[in-house]
Structure 1
Amino acid sequence: MSTQIGEKRNKTGWAATLLQKLKQEIDELAAAGSLTIPSEPGGWWHQYVCPVHHAELLFNPLDQDAHEFYCPHGCKVDEPAYRGAWLVFKHQSLARAALQAAAVYAGTRDDGYASIAKHLVVEYARQFPHYPVHPDAQPWMLKGRAFHQALTEGIWSTTLLRALLLLKDEGVAFTTDEQEAVDQFLTMLESSMTEYRQILIYERKNPENNYTAWLNASLSCVYAVRGERESLLGLIEGEGGWRHHLSIGVKADQLEFEGSTYYHIFVLRAYLISAEMAQRFGIDLYTAEGTEGQTMSGMFDALVSLADDQGVIPALHDGPMERLPFAREIAEILEIGLTNYGKQELVPLLAEAYRQLGSKTGERCDLEALLYGASEGVAAAEDCVSLSGLQAQRSRASRLLAPSGFVVGRHDKSKLSFLADFGPHGGSHGHYDKLHVSIMHRSGAFTPDFGMVPYGSSLRKTWFAETASHNTVSLDGISQAEHEGRCVRFEETEEATAVWLQTDGAYPGCRMDRHLRLTEQWLLDWFEVKLEQDAAIEWWMHPIVEALDLASQLEPADPDASYELRINNEQRSLPLKGSYVPSADGLLQFTYQLKDGSKLYHSALQLPGTEAYAIHTPGNSIDPSKPLTALLQVQRGLSGRFIHVYSTKGPVALTLTGSELRVECESIVTTLYMSEEMGLNS
């Protein structure tokens, strides 16, 4: 790693500039006196969330200490749980500072930075035995010492031990006393990580858990520091080992088994750390395969397939839409992916990660580039801002991830695309969202999956995991059951990309069918519901922007009017903004202005007996306090039919006669037919 940093400094234009930035950041931390290790262990970072606005609280690594914590809207909280969560961030930031200082030393040969990095590593080694096995950890957690969770401890330890390895690579010497402290730390860490592997794999019979990947990664770092090749080989093979976890923790379509892009990246990062440690012993895990052909290279391909045209990775199931530490993790794995696999299609995703880290144009701007980025032979992240980079993204085909239950629909001549979810629930990180559809434009997502707030927020289980927060159908204000749907048809032709999704497990006596058809002119979404008992059938859509012509079709509701949901057996009321009044031909037509200034046109059939509402809902998972306006269509009875068309070309006219739909856009008329046996056909 150290030689590579020197090469980057000498061979690239960006590394020398980045080194100075990283050096300045360490200088600022030192000047602020904020490189002192807390004697208190950390808590659970998910509790670092405002109880009022449900946004993550602010963290400044320059703070020496803190007992009062603020949300982006100015709220102040000071309870012990927030202190514990702040300490998680502090411990993690200090481990990162150790790694960053070691990298600056490798790039500048300034002994002061080696001293800073070594001091942090050794002081943590000395402090670690004094942290208790955490008494405040929640009962379901595997308890750590420096943190509530052993999982957090494993992640933190990999950063600290990577710093230690980098220092040793650079020939930095440790005194006998310092080495004894490090050795004791390694012994204690190995003992706890091994114990927790035993619990997960053999007692709980849960080796596929994402914890296991991180316990493996932490132990891999321990064995790399010690030079214990045989111990690391034993960690790769066997039940719950690296190769076994790849086989059971990742599905044959290359997506992590929980169906969450966040946990996919989470596990891939752990795999890559283990591979980095194995490589030190001449062991190649970068090309290793699971029993169904799973590979780390394939896991990168899955991310490329799911990302939108701007390189944004969707927040499927649990996981943030955007978060600074997550952007760093994304940048890390993508830099490693570019270096080891040369996958130029990763560049737009990497550039988006750097944009989230503060770069306006997507150029390399943080520690991950210096540590893991290639010095030559691979396109830099800044290359993605060129037209050629975007065109490369547009050439991606549609993709069906059948085992995981996701399908991405694209058409080379359309600016629109879609991502639909029909697969397994996703366990504790899943959402009640079968047949959810995210509609995307080249400038970004229009109806995204909103992901998840930190788990300490009450909105986790009262909104973001629930059906009504997704672009799908619920009944009587109640969320779907935990279940799995299916893909009946997936076709990609020159004319259109067509998908037929179906489920009969969402509610007793209920079958749902969603038909999506994407052509050069438009995207059609046709949703059919059949029931054995009467119910209110609720079709939800959550655009991230409000329609320009909303007021012209809206009949305002009374100020205290609301729409009632029942979530987790508790009543929840959403403010009702008003009811939509369709045109004489039974249409609702909306126009939206997108990020790039272009227009998206949306036509919705308002069939007889249908009610349509504008509903105020919480915002996205980044800031739920900024409300959005959802479109809710409701039909009551034994069946429901919802037909919507989206186009960037202009308004779309729709005429339904029986089960025959006439779609007209730009004077081009298409007729489609729906039958229960054959589905939707032109």
Structure 2
Amino acid sequence: MRISEKAKRYRWAEETLGTLSRELDLLLEQEMVIPAEPGGWWHQYVCPVHHTELEFDPYETDAVAFRCPHGCHLEGEPYRGAWLVFKHQSLARFALQAAAVYAGTGEQRYAELGKQIIVRYAEMFPKYPVHPDAQPWMLKGRAFHQALTEAIWSTTLLRAFLLLTDEDITFADVLPAVEQFLDLLEQSMVQYRHILIDVKDNPENNYTAWLNASLSCIYAIRGDKDKLAGLVEGKGGILHHLDIGVNRDGFEFEGSTYYHVFVLRAYLIAAEMAERAGLDLYEAAGAGGQTFRSMFDALAGLSNDHGILPALHDGPYRRTPYSREIAEVVEIGLSRYRNLSYVPLLGAAYEHLFGNRVRGGLEALLFGVDEWDLGQRYGPRESLLLPETGFAVLRHPESPLSVLADFGPHGGSHGHFDKLHISLSHTLGDLSPDFGMVPYGSALRKEWYAETASHNTVSVNGISQAPHRGECIRFETLERGAFLHLRSSGAYEGCVMDRRLLLTGSWLLDWFEVELEDAGTIDWHLYSAAGLIPGDRDGNKVQWVPVSSDDWHDRKMNPYIKPLLCLHGCSSGSQADFQLRQVSQEQTNGNVTMSLWLEGNSEVTTVTAPGPADDPSRETEGLIYRQLGTKARFIAIYTSGPERAVLGWKQGTDGIPVLHITLNGQTDEIAADHHTGLPEAITTIRRS
């Protein structure tokens, strides 16, 4: 559907067209300046003190000073080079925006603006050198340190070119400059593709998808159907990359939500260009059955009830460009596949961008169709297992709680040391999510956010897990509840970890067992999204003891963890209760109660640590439950609301220990194995 038709048919498109027009009018009031300098690496656009991304104004024509949201003033490199990345990208986006507004209004000044940006870059591109300052590991670009950034930037610029020519704007008067630009860009992308696929034998890399996308835009402009078809087949082609870069369960092979969206977006751009040549890739499949549709389904299945995606492995907790990318791919996915389970994803992206769940922005105008109720939740939502990627989500129709667990492959350069990590959610919002990743130029990338200590899992002797893959022993969903048993035997030498999760309509049970060959310090970590309040122990108020800095320095602990209060001398056979606040989308009140079963020779400490990766200086609260020895057992139970579950053990008639969970006058019994004390399956629950 043409943009002008959308503006007549849909109120949201008409309003969006007006907003985008006004944004361009601000740009038209100033002189158009295309930086003569190439961009650097955007990941270095980060404050070294607060580790937040620096502020960027797309209307600023030049910048030599840069500020973080907390007021730090920075100058020079690498910030200048990183700012240039944002500037070049913003100008390409303005070109596409101008083309879209012209398509909707027919006002010539917008066509002239889009064309001017494209032509200026076409003239400038040959003057950019193959970047001399790029880091050694990078495939070097011209306009940027990385060829990857160049490929992404070029697709935006070339989409603008195509949209303008679709609307009968001619580039005949500047054809030599445009042709030279396309020639150089094609040579670069072909060379980078050869290096990556043939020389480095790394065709599954996410770079490949974007090199294919850039080349597909070039070939679509030139009407070269043969070369477009050549990008589909063969080693490193779109079908081959779909087969090796996406797991059979539909998720990107690195296990990163961000890079999953990143690769899917590149695929969709290539499919858009292939369609111009009469090739339909929207139902293309890899050898293992991977499709674009299955990639969308995986995203919808992993998101929380509000459509917010978990920040699994490398990827921002929240970031404006990322939300735009999500909006783009989901608008396209909804237009192609009409799956209503994708709608909350779109609503969440627009809520981050605009503060409420309304359609708007360039992505909506370009790719959106129809009317969708972005505040609607579509259900029922079922439990999910992605066995190859190693993610599982437990849901129950009678429970507001859900839990996502990570047990799969490490994830390579974008992986975290986080096996058996869990993220807890409530229908009102997240309780204990993965906090994402800061820009790679921040020291916190490796010192905190990728480390085991920053995740809701177990660490041993204060060090991070080794890169490894866990395994799913059992995944079961029945009417009574959903059960997951995960195991890790590669995190530490001589260590086996088992995590069992059981979700019923009344509660969520988290049972974590660790066994070591040699005695050590075993720490169970949990971080709250919005706050953690220590409560009662055995129903009585207890005195939590402040932890001195001297005592804390004697421990083996990540230096970014700061202690608050400690519950010493935990006696076996008692419990401690906590309130977990929610990151609520609908209300500010309403907590979840967590009860810990306390073992002997253990210690519980409340702590603070760097918060979500969009602003690490906004500290989060958490707790560390420490046990010593060769064996450790951590049992936690979560209930929605203020009522706590009371835990206890009894001896069954057959001699097998039975865990009793009493809540609101009802008791559930979970039989456990006589030797290990571990719950065997959800079918052993009995209610009295």
Alignment check: 8 A CA contact 2:573 2:599 kept: no
Q: Deviations over 1:214-257 (max 9, x none)?
A: 00000000000011000100111110001100010000000000
Give 1:76 deviation, angstroms: 0.9
1:353 aligns with 2:340: no
- Residue 89 of structure 1 is matched in structure 2 by 86
Give 1:79 deviation, angstroms: 2.5
- Residue 576 of structure 1 is matched in structure 2 by 563
- Residue 546 of structure 2 is matched in structure 1 by 556
- Residue 466 of structure 1 is matched in structure 2 by 451
Give 1:282 deviation, angstroms: 1.1
Alignment check: 8 A CA contact 2:528 2:580 kept: no
- Decide whether aligned partners of structure 1 residues 586 and 364 sit closer, same or farther in structure 2, where only a CA change above 3 A counts: same
- Decide whether aligned partners of structure 1 residues 667 and 130 sit closer, same or farther in structure 2, where only a CA change above 3 A counts: same
- Residue 14 of structure 2 is matched in structure 1 by 16
- Structure 2 distance, partners of 1:555, 1:629, is 16
Q: Deviations over 1:628-665 (max 9, x none)?
A: 12210111001000000001152111113584311011
- Residue 217 of structure 2 is matched in structure 1 by 221
Give 1:584 deviation, angstroms: 9.8
How do 1:50-449 residues align onto structure 2 when only pairs under 5 Å count? Answer: 50-176=47-173, 178-360=174-356, 362-374=357-369, 376=370, 379-380=371-372, 383-385=373-375, 389-390=376-377, 392-393=378-379, 395-449=380-434
2:39 paired residue among 36, 39, 42: 42
- Secondary structure of 1:9's aligned partner: helix
- Residue 679 of structure 1 is matched in structure 2 by 680
- Structure 2 distance, partners of 1:404, 1:107, is 42
- Structure 1 distance, partners of 2:87, 2:255, is 30
- Higher mean C-alpha displacement, 398-407 vs 598-607: 598-607
- Residue 538 of structure 2 is matched in structure 1 by none
- Structure 2 distance, partners of 1:561, 1:161, is 60
- Secondary structure of 1:526's aligned partner: strand
- Structure 1 distance, partners of 2:650, 2:664, is 21
Alignment check: 8 A CA contact 2:423 2:432 kept: yes
- Structure 1 distance, partners of 2:554, 2:270, is 49
Alignment check: 8 A CA contact 2:560 2:609 kept: no
Q: Deviations over 1:279-338 (max 9, x none)?
A: 011110001111010000110000000000011000000000100000000000000001
- Decide whether aligned partners of structure 1 residues 311 and 573 sit closer, same or farther in structure 2, where only a CA change above 3 A counts: closer
- Residue 506 of structure 1 is matched in structure 2 by 491
Alignment check: 8 A CA contact 2:196 2:202 kept: yes
- Secondary structure of 1:221's aligned partner: helix
- Decide whether aligned partners of structure 1 residues 593 and 472 sit closer, same or farther in structure 2, where only a CA change above 3 A counts: closer
Q: Deviations over 1:80-133 (max 9, x none)?
A: 100000000000000000000000000000000000000000000000000010
What is the identity, as a one-letter code, of the residue corresponding to 1:577? Answer: L
Give 1:14 deviation, angstroms: 1.1
Give 1:30 deviation, angstroms: 2.3
- Residue 7 of structure 1 is matched in structure 2 by 5
Give 1:396 deviation, angstroms: 1.4
- Structure 2 distance, partners of 1:23, 1:643, is 57
What is the identity, as a one-letter code, of the residue corresponding to 2:254? Answer: E
- Decide whether aligned partners of structure 1 residues 573 and 370 sit closer, same or farther in structure 2, where only a CA change above 3 A counts: closer
1:625 aligns with 2:617: yes
- Structure 1 distance, partners of 2:359, 2:468, is 42
- Secondary structure of 2:532's aligned partner: coil
Give 1:619 deviation, angstroms: 1.1
Query: Which ranges of structure 1 fall in alignment gaps of 5 or more residues?
Result: none
Alignment check: 8 A CA contact 2:670 2:679 kept: no
- Higher mean C-alpha displacement, 340-349 vs 42-51: 340-349
- Structure 2 distance, partners of 1:636, 1:354, is 47
- Structure 2 distance, partners of 1:110, 1:447, is 49
* TM-score normalised according to structure 1 size: 0.95
- Structure 2 distance, partners of 1:451, 1:202, is 33
- Residue 651 of structure 1 is matched in structure 2 by 644
Q: Deviations over 1:140-188 (max 9, x none)?
A: 0000000000000000000000000000000002243x11111100000
Q: Give aligned-pair identity as a percent.
A: 52
- Decide whether aligned partners of structure 1 residues 411 and 553 sit closer, same or farther in structure 2, where only a CA change above 3 A counts: farther
1:533 aligns with 2:528: no
Alignment check: 8 A CA contact 1:49 1:457 kept: yes
What is the identity, as a one-letter code, of the residue corresponding to 1:246? Answer: L
Give 1:574 deviation, angstroms: 2.7
- Secondary structure of 1:298's aligned partner: helix
- Structure 2 distance, partners of 1:399, 1:564, is 42
- Secondary structure of 1:499's aligned partner: strand
Alignment check: 8 A CA contact 1:476 1:565 kept: no
Give 1:553 deviation, angstroms: 4.9
How do 1:517-528 residues align onto structure 2 when only pairs under 5 Å count? Answer: 517-528=502-513
- Structure 2 distance, partners of 1:344, 1:574, is 42
Q: Deviations over 1:552-597 (max 9, x none)?
A: 6521122555367779xxx736322120256996211112343232
- Secondary structure of 1:384's aligned partner: coil
Alignment check: 8 A CA contact 2:671 2:679 kept: no
1:586 paired residue among 566, 574, 594: 574
* TM-score normalised according to structure 2 size: 0.94
- Residue 654 of structure 2 is matched in structure 1 by none
- Higher mean C-alpha displacement, 589-598 vs 193-202: 589-598
Q: Provide the aligned C-alpha RMSD in A.
A: 1.6
- Structure 1 distance, partners of 2:574, 2:161, is 68
- Structure 2 distance, partners of 1:523, 1:12, is 44
